[in-house]
Structure 1
């Protein structure tokens, strides 16, 4: 999940529409327009002109990845269904949230066979989650319409993130995880660089009063801010160290991956793997931390030659 609101796009014009139409048939032009569009969004969100040919900050390196990195593992693990198999191969099935079903059409869901509480998701993007706390009062026609709307989305077209481009749109349902208070558990987002966690962002109350705390690799509080206010009363669960080790094993094949986990009932559960955190458009506070965190990330050795041109093969 990218966890960001994209900055407003420049107003369209007849000429711009013609160029966009032509770009559908000319890969080189498409690549140039996508880089231009990404630069515009990054500049508007971050407040600085990103250097995508010699990236140094975390967001610049994310921008480079969006434009150039075509590692097939990015696409494999971006798909929420395929990611389950990848994670099970690395750390075992015990971390997987129980799966209730997979569908290609919302009309095929047999709602009466699902438990009273569950979560319905789109496998091929972000912000496609329906939390069902009581199936008996669910408006099924509305849910079907919403889910079919997800299936028509392609996040590559809106965000330019390559790993989403060719994913098969599917729906999946998983059991709903609840914390000791009966609420949605905190989301522990581990930033794994070259197999090592360097930053943990814990999102609390995501479906209500959303707050976020940051911690360093030793799980000590770190004054890293992005978008949400911290919660000084929050205490990390005792399983966090186990979760950190699992995140490193799950993310060790990538130069960077954000691995999202949950700690519930003394166990650690897998959420998702994200490769384009914030779509390269999430500013840090203090701003200098963008560079500090970027220093943890060494891009693939091919990045110099790849970034020498805006023409990227599709």
Structure 2
């Protein structure tokens, strides 16, 4: 596509977007992944990403969408195989038990309430079920989760070929409060930041800390007490993320015991804004450093070897 036509496409699609929700850009309408990535970034950030020389964290995620085809990522974004990999590395006591997994949800399961139903092939597709009526609602919702590959609409390549299915786990929170979510950003095998998500039921918000637990965002927020298992979380985040120039590894702490959550390679799809905005460049600088020091793809073990 010529630069002139590409510019016209940006304006036409951007002006037509519903700015109240993230648009899904169909591939038949916009067959260029680069164009789709640039448009969704423009919609969220009000500027086009620098894909030739990305410096912001959010820009580097767009670069990963377009260029990073490391097949090992598929092992870790699949919630079923990620738990198995984490159990081998950390031990079974770090793993939230699996009640059930499969690709066709039963109509009337005998699982103990409450539990959480998740799509095993994507993110942000989950439902807490406190009783049978909740489950029936969740079951209807879940049918839509499996309609198409999760990674297709936002060009998150690692998700595209994961078998579509579901996983059920015991619910670790309660109606009033979900567990605090500790999301550890690891660059080149070194943990640098911990994003702490609190009050996820009533007033969901997050605060960023460095690895020494110094608060570096949202200074009007009251400080969050560090989890007692922070050092162990950081150590295991570095272990599981070590093959990659960047990965985010999520944990919970339940009754003083750390529990593995998930691994993601596209946090917020690079479309969430940072507060303050300068954090985008700061976090991006850590990723850029890791990219400059990592071995090339030919020098790292294969996906099959990593999965052994």
TM over 0.5: yes
Check conservation: 1:9, 1:41, Cα contact below 8 A.
no
Taking the aligned partners of 1:201 and 1:20, their CA distance within structure 2 comes to: 33
> Would you say 1:190 and 2:184 are equivalent positions?
yes
Match of 1:152 among 147, 154, 166: 147
Residues 199-240 of structure 1 deviation map (CA, whole Å, 9 limit, x = unaligned): 1110011122112111002111112x5xxx964153222222
Count of residues in correspondence between the two structures? 273
Offset at 1:154?
2.1
Q: Which residue of 2 aligns with 1:86?
A: 85
In the other structure, the counterpart of 1:166 is 161
Partner of 2:306: none
2:114 pairs with one of 93, 112, 117: 117
Separation in structure 1 between the aligned mates of residue 272 and residue 29 of structure 2, nearest angstrom? 31
Partner of 2:95: 96
Deviation, 1:273, is 0.5
- Pick 1 or 2: higher relative contact order, CA cutoff 8 A, min separation 6: 1
Q: Is this contact kept in 2: 1:100–1:173, CA < 8 A?
A: yes
Q: CA deviation at 1:269?
A: 0.3
Q: Does 1:277 align with 2:267?
A: yes
Q: Is 1:214 aligned with 2:208?
A: yes
- Match of 2:153, SS? helix
Rounded Cα–Cα distance in structure 2 between residues aligned with 1:205 and 1:213: 11
Name the residue aligned to 1:255: 245
Deviates more, 1:53-62 or 1:266-275: 53-62
- Structure 1 pair 253–20 and aligned structure 2 pair: CA distance change class (3 A): closer
**Distance in 1, Cα, partners of 2:171 & 2:274:** 32
Does the 8 A contact of 2:189 with 2:241 survive in 1? yes
C-alpha deviation, 1:167, in angstroms: 1.0
Q: Any residues of structure 2 matched to 1:291-306 within 5 Å, and which?
A: 291-297=281-287, 298-299=290-291
Are the counterparts in 2 of residues 211 and 230 from structure 1 also a CA contact under 8 Å?
no
User: Tell me, what secondary structure is at the counterpart of 1:198?
Assistant: strand
Q: Which residue of 2 aligns with 1:307?
A: none
Cα deviation code 1:35-63 (max 9, x no counterpart): 11111221232233311122222111111
**Structure 1 unmatched ranges of 5 or more:** 1-7, 13-18, 24-29, 304-314
TM-score (norm 1): 0.79
The two structures, once aligned, show a CA RMSD in angstroms of 2.5
Secondary structure (helix, strand or coil) at the match of 1:260 reads strand
**CA distance in 1 between partners of 2:285 and 2:275 (Å):** 16
Q: Distance in 2 between matches of 1:269 and 1:230?
A: 29
When normalised by structure 2's length, the TM-score is: 0.81
Structure 2 residues without counterparts, runs of 5 or longer: 1-11, 18-25, 298-308
Do the aligned partners of 2:129 and 2:135 also contact (CA within 8 Å) in 1? no
